[in-house]
Amino acid sequence: AQKITQTQPGMFVQEKEAVTLDCTYDTSDPSYGLFWYKQPSSGEMIFLIYQGSYDQQNATEGRYSLNFQKARKSANLVISASQLGDSAMYFCAMREGRPDSNYQLIWGAGTKLIIKP
Amino acid sequence: KAGVTQTPRYLIKTRGQQVTLSCSPISGHRSVSWYQQTPGQGLQFLFEYFSETQRNKGNFPGRFSGRQFSNSRSEMNVSTLELGDSALYLCASTDRQGANTQYFGPGTRLTVL
């Protein structure tokens, strides 16, 4: 079974609109972390936001927020006021176990986001 | 702080050859992880090193190996290259604080002909 599922292979969004990228995960470990990364066409993987399984509040980083619904095993990325520079591949990734116990990230297939002017 | 650096950025090799890729982590980061990214398989974990010791290894054949030096720089080696080894190889370093977020380098794009 897929541990990280991103159901949207591609999305087109009008500039300045908000966009939600879906991510569902599967783990039986009570301690885990969820990450979102952005990969422009240049290839570098850029860290955006992190949510720990025990975090009580949804994570936010500037225009990025994470809609964490633990019971539904969902960790959607929300980008507010999208910009042309947001066009890229977006990956959801999970680390199972405590932060200091495991450095292996499990990745989703990614969503290609294109912002239209 | 300077980011993660990877050299070379691009490589073209032929089947049967071997290749060595290099990664220098962010200053102060002692953990280095390697990932392979291909259109068919997506992102897959290769291995992780901390203090010159391999602590975790993904499901790759023994042709894929790595090492870490005392200054935390890491190399990965692929011997007897196959066409399927063509990929973007990403290196990440970890700050081992809080979330232990992995910060990635620009990658090395390997093409095997």
| pLDDT per residue as tens digits for the range B18-72 | 999 999 999 999 999 999 999 989 999 999 999 999 999 999 999 999 999 999 9
Percentage of residues in chain B having pLDDT higher than 70: 100
What would the pLDDT profile of A39-52 be if each residue is shown by its tens digit? 999 899 999 999 99
**Whether the predicted pLDDT of A99 surpasses 80:** no
Indicate whether A97 pLDDT > 70. Answer: yes
Please give the structure tokens belonging to residue A79.
């980008």
When pLDDT is averaged across residues A72-99 and rounded to a whole number, the result is 95
User: Is there a contact between A103 and B55 if contact means CB atoms under 8 Å apart?
Assistant: yes
Q: How many whole angstroms separate alpha carbon A18 and alpha carbon B92?
A: 30
Residue A36: how many CB atoms within 10 A of its CB?
Answer: 25
**More confident: B35 or A100:** B35
Classify A84 as helix, strand or coil. Answer: helix
Distance of CA B42 to the CA centre of its chain: 15
pLDDT at B95: 78
Which of A116, A117, A115 is closest to A40 using CA atoms?
A: A115
CB distance B58 to B46 below 8 Å: yes
* Residue A1 confidence (pLDDT): 65
Which residue among B56, B98, B103 sits closest to A103, beta carbon to beta carbon? B56
Write out chain B residues lying below 8 Å of A90, CB-based.
Answer: none
State the pLDDT confidence band at A30, using cuts at 50, 70 and 90: very high
Q: Which residues contact A80 (CB under 8 A, 6 or more apart)?
A: A18, A63, A65
* pLDDT category of residue A92 using cuts at 50, 70 and 90: very high
DSSP state of B42: E
pLDDT of the residue at B100: 82
B88: phi then psi, degrees, rounded to nearest 5: -95, 125
| Chain A residue with Cα closest to B100 | A99
Confidence check: pLDDT of A102 > 80: no
User: How does residue B97 score in pLDDT terms, banded at 50, 70 and 90?
Assistant: confident
Q: Which of A103, A106, A112 should we substitute to test contact with B (largest number of B Cβ atoms within 10 Å)?
A: A103
Q: Do A44 and B33 touch (CB under 8 A)?
A: no
Give the Cβ contact number of residue A106 at 10 Å.
Answer: 19
Whether the pLDDT of residue A100 is over 80: the answer is: no
Mark yes or no for CB contact A46/B102 under 8 Å: no
Structure tokens at A47: 């860290």
**DSSP per-residue string spanning B26-40:** PTT--EEEEEEEETT
**Looking at the partner chain, which of A33, A46, A103 has a beta carbon nearest the beta carbon of B48?**
A103
Concatenating the DSSP letter of every residue in A79-97 gives ESS--GGG-EEEEEEEEES
Can you give the pLDDT at residue A27?
Answer: 95
In this complex, do A43 and B107 lie within 8 Å of one another by their Cβ atoms? Answer: yes
pLDDT (tens digit per residue) in A3-12? 999 999 999 9
